[in-house]
Every structure is written in structure tokens, then in C-alpha cells.
Amino acid sequence: MVIIIVKISLSIIACSRRWTLRRGANPVAPTFLTVVVDKILDDIEKPIRFSSQQLTMATSNFSHLLGAGSFGAVYKGTFMNGMSVAIKVLNGSSDKRIEDQSLAEVTTVGRTHHMNLVQLYGFCFDRNLRALVYEFMQNSSLDRLLFGADEDIEWDVLYNIAIGTGKGITYLHEECQQMIIHYDIKPGNILLDTNFCPKVADFGLAKLCNRGQIHVTISGVRGTPGYAAPEMWMPFPITQKCDVYSFGMLLVEILGRRSNLDVNLPDSQEWFPRWVWKKHEMKRFSDVMIVCRIQEHCRDKAERMAMVALWCVQYKQASRPSMNVALKMLEGGVEIPLPANPFLHLMESPQPEVLAEVKGEACSFPLPAIRILAESSNPGTAPTI
């Protein structure tokens, strides 16, 4: 009887501590917290609030830098149970900006669960430290794999990374409770675990949107040059198609294992995505295979990747496929119609359709049956399923 009473009391204490931690109230002494956190980390569901002492301890005073982006540095941390984490310390020019960014991350990725999205374990909103705690990714980010010194990676692995990344973005757009637009899809924001399984990360610019909301208003410039869709830099309405555009640019980089912006590489006297378009137009895909060092057995996948990329980077949002369709085409489940030249606008003045978009007339194509509607003879229309 005594044993039962003691057991019940212990579980009540444990539950109330766990609840308190998750709510983020009353910081408790660090030593006790470490024990409790270790237990909780075994069974994570929602982001947990950490104290700055805990994170300072876990990172040995922020000594192991993993990487840095525009908004802060990311450090490796290890909790007492041996679990590794990545801790992003947010620093910015104003408290408001840090707050907006950290809240964007917690409210978006904090409520998602998908094998192709990085898992947010928790956060620290102490006065002296604003930080986000993520699952640790052993193989760092895709930019290092593509543009780093280690070039031995099999192209097949890269193709699978593209598929996984597409699944992560599709989930954000179409499958989670509220649609999430990421706004900053690029290789530096795709993390890789031990098995090179990709996880979309860095939700600092992300925004939750109500489904059915076609145009999103954004404040300030978002995204990264080279990946950001043209409408991001102009007074155009924004939709989730901006992520589709960035995904297309990422696919071109995966295809070539090179940065689109690298003008020092051979055959890149012109912008690499346009070079790929020209090769596609001239039906000389073999040149792409040779220059990009893609093995013959990967030809189908590589050709698909190039075509999907060219669809995704269409100038007009309405001409780009949804992520779901882009993914299906990339996986090979459906036939891919011939894309129009996505770079025509670079030579010509704005077309009437583009002006229509400015007026908010862009449309989307959520159709049910698995069918490609766009025909090769009408390449200005986005493929749908």
C-alpha cells in the first residue's frame, strides 16, 4: 500500500514538472532541470522552453559552431543523456526582428511533424538569450554537399534528396493544418541526417496562411537572391508558388552539383539555369549529362529533374505547378508536358499576363483527378493533376 502511494505521488510530481516545463513557467534550478529535460527529451511532442543556463551547459558555452546564416549562429549541443541538438542563437538588429523571427519558427515548424522537416525540440526566450533548439543533423546542409570540396556523392543520392525536399514543401503547402509558406527554400536551408534524408529547415521567414487565401501580403523583402521568385522583388501578390520557384532553382543546382551563380566554372559563361533551358530546347540533354557528370543510368531521373525545374521557375506564378504536381512529375508518376521558356522575360518587356498578375488575377490549379491538363501545344499553362 505504502509503495503504491509513493509511486502515485512521484508520478503526480513528475507530471506537474513536465507540464510546467512545457508551459515555460517558473524556471527551475538548472541541475534539476537537466534531469527532467533528459526524461522529457525521450518523448518530445511540443516545443519545450529551455533556460539559458541549460543551453550554455549543453553547448559548453557555445564552443562548437555548426554554421551561420543571416539571422544567427548555430551551435552543437549535447544533453546529459547523450542526445545531440543544434542550437540557433538569434541575433538581429532589433528586438522586434528577433521576436518576429523566433515566433515565426516556433509557430510554424514547432507544430509540424514530417520526416522531411527539421524537428524543433524547444526554445529559450530568456532576457539574455533567444535561441531555438533543433534535432541535430549529422550531414549538415545541402549547400556543403553540393558546393563543398566533397564531390563524390552519387547523383542518385542527390535525386532522393530532391524528392524528400519536395515532400517536405508539399507537406507545408498542402498537408498540414494551416498552409505554411517557407519563403527561403535554398540548399543552405535543407539539412541532411546520417542517411542523407533531407529536412527543410530555417523557418525564420515562414508564414502561416489560411487555406484558400490566394495572395499573401508580406512586409519587407524576403528570400535570397538567386532563389527568390521575381514577384518577391516587385509589387506583385505573393502565393505559395514562390516556394515552387525556389524549389526549381534548387533542382537546377542539384542537377549540376553547382551553384547557379558560380561563373568561374566551365560552361557557365551564361547563367546556368538558362544554359539548361537552351540544352533542353535544342534537345541536347547529353551535354547536360556530360557537364554535370551524371551517369547514364540516371538519365531519366536527370531529364525529369531538368523539366520539372524549368516548370517550377516559370516567370508567372500561375504557370508554375503546385508542389504536389511538381513532386509527382519528379517521381515519374505522370507525364511531363513541355515547359515554355521560363526566361523569355529577360529579353522582353512585361507581357499582358504578367500585368494581370499585378492586378491580382493569378490563379491556382487544385484539381482532383490524376491527369496532366497542360498540353505540349499550350506550354504557358501550369501542369496539374
Nearer to ligand ADP, 40 or 89 (CB): 89
Q: Among Mg ion, ligand ADP, none, what does residue 88 contact (CB within 5–8 Å per kind)?
A: ligand ADP
- Residue 63 has φ and ψ, to the nearest 5°, of -100, -20
384 neighbors 372 (Cβ within 8 angstroms): yes
Q: Write out the three cell numbers for 268.
A: 557557365
- Residue 366 has φ and ψ, to the nearest 5°, of -80, 85
38, 143, 156, 184: which is the annotated catalytic residue?
184
Q: Among ligand ADP, Mg ion, none, what does residue 161 contact (CB within 5–8 Å per kind)?
A: none
Asked whether residue 88 is marked as a ligand-binding residue, the answer is yes
- Residue 344 has φ and ψ, to the nearest 5°, of -60, -35
Binds ligand ADP by CB under 6 A, chosen from 136, 236, 275, 315: 136
- Residue 121 has φ and ψ, to the nearest 5°, of -85, -40
Q: Write out the three cell numbers for 201.
A: 529547415
Binds ligand ADP by CB under 6 A, chosen from 98, 201, 209, 326: 201
CB of 165 to Mg ion, least distance (A): 14
Classify each residue of 360-385 as buried b or exposed e, where b means 16 or more C-beta atoms within 10 Å of its C-beta.
Answer: eebebbeeeeeebebeeeebeebbbb
Which stretch, 200-208, 233-241, 242-250, 354-362, contacts Mg ion (CB under 5 A)? 200-208
307 neighbors 348 (Cβ within 8 angstroms): no
Binds ligand ADP by CB under 6 A, chosen from 33, 40, 89, 118: 118
Binds ligand ADP by CB under 6 A, chosen from 51, 54, 59, 141: 141
Q: What distance in Å separates the CA atoms of residue 222 and residue 229, rounded to the nearest whole number?
A: 10
User: How many residues lie near ligand ADP (CB under 6 A)?
Assistant: 22
Q: Write out the three cell numbers for 311.
A: 516548370
CB of 12 to ligand ADP, least distance (A): 35
Radius of gyration, CA atoms only, the chain: 23
For residue 265, give the amino acid letter.
L
Binds ligand ADP by CB under 6 A, chosen from 20, 53, 78, 140: 140
Q: What distance in Å separates the CA atoms of residue 129 and residue 126, rounded to the nearest whole number?
A: 5
CB of 67 to ligand ADP, least distance (A): 3
Nearer to Mg ion, 202 or 253 (CB): 202
Q: What distance in Å separates the CA atoms of residue 303 and residue 31, rounded to the nearest whole number?
A: 56
Known active-site residue 243 = no
Binds ligand ADP by CB under 6 A, chosen from 34, 56, 108, 189: 189
Which stretch, 60-68, 155-163, 277-285, 370-378, contacts ligand ADP (CB under 6 A)? 60-68
Catalytic positions, please? Answer: 184
Q: Kindly list the residues in this chain that would bind Mg ion in the complex (CB under 5 A).
A: 69, 188-189, 202
Binding residues (CB under 6 A) for ligand ADP: these are: 66-72, 74, 86, 88, 118, 134, 136-137, 140-141, 188-189, 191, 201-202, 204
